[in-house]
Structure 1
């Protein structure tokens, strides 16, 4: 019986994805009693039809209509209009182009400092050294939380994304720390915990203006802290892995640094850090001629859609000549990731700093997957760098 949440499939979901795409527009997964969508057209259509495929009953396997969620639902991810509209509008403005333009120079300079420090060695693990280190430096600063305790963000986010799946070993692994991590994160969302000039303070200011309520404000801050770190970490790691295994694409980026954002989107399409999300049928539906009864859960395989040969030419290739802009790695439609431009800026800053200093990037050992019910990422990515001009770090030859 197919189990998309088994360790074997989470380690390498590509064979299952192909099997599901070839099986038809909709497949029924008996183990969980859910309908699976793995082709691009059907996944895209479900993501953009919030009236038929609701998020308010939870975007995980649990159905909030009949089960109590483990934490108060996200006002953005796990809500539909009209409840979704005001928080979304507030966050869209706060994370908009004007705010990011103000951060751009500082983040690029910060990326250069980090990369210079890391490149003191010619071999290092790119996951903790770069993919985790940079988002944990700049994003919490932008939100306005203090330096102490930031290491809690990754295990908290990891559990939150695990909890979208079934109650398996990955959920059980995180449960002993849920209370502690949740308490810390909730404390960071309070007005008094936030610096006066960050995203968090602006969310509270929106509550003062009446755009959202004071009860909603900490939940909107929490959404930033929950969804804004792990996803970006895994996206940057996916990009570094792509370049370490595709030297010709690294050369192309170095020749044309303006491709940095395209490269990040192509890595998100290719690796799909967010692999799956659920929806719930609000009424009796039909997809590809297959009936889906009202109240049933639908499991959308974003990763499978992003490699669907019906939509993409040579989908298994990481290719900077491709236009990846239609990918569903950030979702699509009303619930499309509100922080995607923040993630793009973080990745662009980091990879631009690397491209200016590193002529060649290669694996220095076998990478190791980080397994999560929802996220696809790397736990370890040993790399070796060859610096521009032939120089390498202190351990170079």
Structure 2
């Protein structure tokens, strides 16, 4: 990617709405069409430039100087419109404003903290799976009982949230991720709760609301040391909550969906439980819980011969990049013999998900607990999707299991 030469070609134009229900429900046909159309496609409906091939998506993600996040990682352009909430210091900021918050979180989520979490979370995962099997039997909703229940139990504890009101976390995240898209019916459906949800989340980020032994307290301590400002501290806590719940819940659901639908891969995993993290990353590649993010061009930029003018919004299709046959062999196949590293499901470059290692720990604990107790898992009905402008989400994942005898 370089500054635009004197002569460039116009990219193909498509008037499709990628946020229409049919594309949110089943995005693969659109992804295939966009990849086949070219490295850049202009989506006239929203006046944005789309990247759907792995090479271009990866390059845009790592080039924060040319493809900025500070103008918003959604359709709204913060150069011209006021954000609906104070922008995220991780997702919606670039250096130098991005540096201190990310450095603080990187130190807080360093290997010693992760080792402590692993020791604490495995018994909790064992207990959850035992309880589900004992109380619900062999048929249950794996989304509600496992993928949703486990992160909502352990991650808010780690941050230092109190026990009350945690059922607000997913609705708030749903609202926040919807807001990255256009002001469609999905956004309007959240409008009546927006003020209350935002007020609740903001209240949880205050120092007085947090326990003194969690990640949140350590963020505030960093502000006391001068590593952050006291105005930044609650925004960093908020970013951790938003990034650490929804994507993990739907990443876990994607993994359970993949394993339940691929009995040979489930058996492979049971024989080699050390593949837990591979299973999680392969599921994130295969389903891409975060489907899209936007950037804004800081200059006229040429991509594969097409000009993107300065100030234009660029829509990166992470889900399409993660199934690009130019990057992945048999990309539509969930395959535990694959090395899924390099997928862009957690982003890439300086803005990649700071909590991705925590998400992998949660997956490792829950999947390991399940594999010890369940000989076979299979879909017991059609999964139901929950539509969101950014997330590929589940509403229900009915499964049938055969416990180890």
Residues of 1 paired with 2:86 and 2:393: CA distance? 26
Q: TM-score normalized by structure 2?
A: 0.96
By how many angstroms is 1:313 displaced? 0.1
Q: Which residue of 2 aligns with 1:224?
A: 240
Q: What does residue range 196-275 of structure 1 map to in structure 2 within 5 Å?
A: 196-275=212-291
Q: Which residue of 2 aligns with 1:84?
A: 98
Q: Which residue of 1 aligns with 2:76?
A: 62
Q: Which residue of 2 aligns with 1:187?
A: 203
Q: Structure 2, unaligned stretches of length 5 or more?
A: 1-14
Residues of 2 paired with 1:361 and 1:50: CA distance? 42
Q: Which residue of 2 aligns with 1:36?
A: 50
Per-residue displacement from partner, 1:188-237 (whole Å, max 9, x unpaired)? 00001100000000000000110000000000000011121111000000
Aligned: 1:74 with 2:88: yes
SS, match of residue 252 in structure 2: helix
Q: Which residue of 2 aligns with 1:159?
A: 175
Q: Which residue of 1 aligns with 2:316?
A: 300
Q: TM-score normalized by structure 1?
A: 0.98
Aligned: 1:321 with 2:337: yes
SS, match of residue 228 in structure 1: helix
Q: Structure 1, unaligned stretches of length 5 or more?
A: 390-397
Q: CA RMSD in A?
A: 0.5
By how many angstroms is 1:365 displaced? 1.1
Q: Which residue of 2 aligns with 1:392?
A: none
Q: Which residue of 1 aligns with 2:118?
A: 104
SS, match of residue 356 in structure 1: helix
Q: Which residue of 1 aligns with 2:192?
A: 176
By how many angstroms is 1:78 displaced? 0.1
Residues of 2 paired with 1:196 and 1:180: CA distance? 26
Aligned: 1:337 with 2:356: no
By how many angstroms is 1:119 displaced? 1.0
By how many angstroms is 1:105 displaced? 1.3
Residues of 1 paired with 2:356 and 2:243: CA distance? 10
Per-residue displacement from partner, 1:82-103 (whole Å, max 9, x unpaired)? 0000000001111121111011
Q: Which residue of 1 aligns with 2:5?
A: none
Per-residue displacement from partner, 1:319-346 (whole Å, max 9, x unpaired)? 0000000100000001010000000000
Q: Which residue of 2 aligns with 1:351?
A: 367
Structure 1 runs (4+) deviating above 2 angstroms are none
Residues of 2 paired with 1:237 and 1:81: CA distance? 34
By how many angstroms is 1:139 displaced? 0.2
Q: What does residue range 360-375 of structure 1 map to in structure 2 within 5 Å?
A: 360-375=376-391
Residues of 1 paired with 2:393 and 2:130: CA distance? 25
Residues of 1 paired with 2:103 and 2:293: CA distance? 22
Q: Which residue of 1 aligns with 2:299?
A: 283
Residues of 1 paired with 2:313 and 2:245: CA distance? 27
SS, match of residue 378 in structure 1: strand
Per-residue displacement from partner, 1:239-261 (whole Å, max 9, x unpaired)? 00000100000000000000000
Residues of 2 paired with 1:277 and 1:384: CA distance? 35
Q: Which residue of 2 aligns with 1:393?
A: none
Aligned: 1:388 with 2:404: yes
Q: Which residue of 2 aligns with 1:19?
A: 33
SS, match of residue 74 in structure 1: coil
Q: Which residue of 1 aligns with 2:6?
A: none
Q: 1:376 aligns with which of 392, 396, 399?
A: 392
